[in-house]
């Protein structure tokens, strides 16, 4: 059955017009109340944050978000698990183990960010990425990454893990990273310790590409002395071949 033509206020009698405007006023008031209620939910809620966390955990371990939950969380916020922004988010949470968030860690980080929904985290992604451009924050994130990514049963980081993390953190910013990665492949090193890890960042920030400001008598780890020797030998070989 076709709908009848909607009548305008001009087609109505005085009583009908009064009822019409009263109804419009009630609807406007109702919309205002709904808008106000919606605004209330924009403020951070710890209860809502925990409820959201539980969407990614199991009944067996309700206070631990594991690899499967992490994959779903990353999918929901539209970020690949390997994206560096996930490392920054983990740093904000002070998460102890890669691939896992405890409820306490989740609450710490997301309370600081004031995020309790997918949309709110998405709105913070650019801010989290921007922290990588701040030298002080980057240094803190870089140092955090060592303990976060290493196997907790070992004091040092496995080389494959170290190379992946170095690629993530320094690959786009250190012009010598490609050569350093090749050096590591050819070297005897199977792990990287914490002192070496910290000094790699310092080296990448202070030593220029031609190595002219590298002090062989400085307090650099032997690994970096060997890298400099390897790099100079590689350049000499290239000159001889050309």
The predicted pLDDT at position 52 comes to: 98
The pLDDT tens digits of the residues spanning 161-173 come to 999 999 999 999 9
Domain spans, the chain: 46-131, 135-240
C-alpha closest to that of 205 among 237, 173, 234: 173
The predicted pLDDT at position 176 comes to: 97
Look at residue 235 and tell me whether its pLDDT is greater than 50: yes
d(CA 81, CA 94): 17
Q: Average pLDDT, stretch 102-113?
A: 98
Whole-Å CA distances, 180 to 23, 125, 195: 74, 30, 17
The predicted pLDDT at position 32 comes to: 35
d(CA 199, CA 205): 10
d(CA 47, CA 40): 14
Query: Greater confidence, 88 or 242?
Result: 88
C-alpha closest to that of 41 among 123, 118, 117: 117
Q: Would you place residue 218 in the very low, low, confident or very high pLDDT band (cuts 50, 70, 90)? A: confident
Pick the CATH number of 46-131 from 1.10.3720.10, 1.10.238.10, 3.40.920.10, 1.10.1030.10: 1.10.238.10
Q: What is the pTM of this model?
A: 0.80
Q: Give the list of residues 6+ apart from residue 87 with CB closer than 8 angstroms, or none.
A: 141, 145, 148, 168, 169
The predicted pLDDT at position 41 comes to: 61
The predicted pLDDT at position 5 comes to: 39
d(CA 66, CA 75): 14
Q: Beta strand 101-102 with 157-158: parallel, antiparallel or unpaired?
A: unpaired
**What is the fold of 135-240?**
Recoverin; domain 1 (1.10.238)
The pLDDT tens digits of the residues spanning 32-84 come to 333 334 445 679 999 999 999 999 999 999 999 999 999 999 999 999 999 99
Query: Greater confidence, 82 or 27?
Result: 82
Look at residue 19 and tell me whether its pLDDT is greater than 50: no
**173-196 residues labelled b (16+ CB within 10 A) or e (exposed):** ebebbebbeebbeeeebebbbeeb
């Amino acid at each position: 059955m076709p709908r009848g033509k909607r009548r305008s206020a001009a087609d109505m009698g005085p009583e009908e017009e009064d009822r019409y405007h009263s109804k419009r006023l009630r609807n406007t008031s109702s919309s205002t109340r709904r808008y106000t209620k919606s605004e209330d939910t924009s403020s951070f809620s710890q209860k809502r944050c925990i409820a959201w966390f539980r969407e990614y955990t199991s009944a067996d371990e309700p206070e631990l978000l594991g690899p499967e939950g992490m994959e779903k969380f990353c999918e929901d916020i539209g970020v690949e698990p390997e994206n560096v922004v996930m490392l920054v988010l983990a740093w904000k949470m002070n998460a102890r183990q890669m691939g896992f968030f405890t409820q306490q860690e989740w609450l710490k980080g997301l309370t600081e960010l004031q995020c309790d929904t997918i949309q709110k985290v998405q709105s913070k992604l650019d801010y989290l990425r921007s922290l990588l451009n701040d030298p002080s924050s980057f240094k803190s994130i870089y140092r955090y990454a060592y303990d976060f990514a290493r196997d907790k049963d070992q004091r040092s980081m496995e080389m494959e893990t170290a190379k992946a993390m170095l690629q993530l953190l320094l690959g786009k910013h250190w012009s010598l990273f490609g050569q350093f990665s090749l050096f590591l492949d050819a070297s005897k090193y199977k792990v990287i310790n914490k002192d070496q890890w910290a000094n790699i960042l310092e080296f990448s920030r202070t030593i220029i590409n031609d190595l002219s400001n590298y002090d062989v008598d400085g307090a650099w780890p032997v690994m970096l002395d060997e890298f400099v020797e390897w790099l100079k030998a590689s350049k000499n070989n290239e000159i001889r071949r050309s």
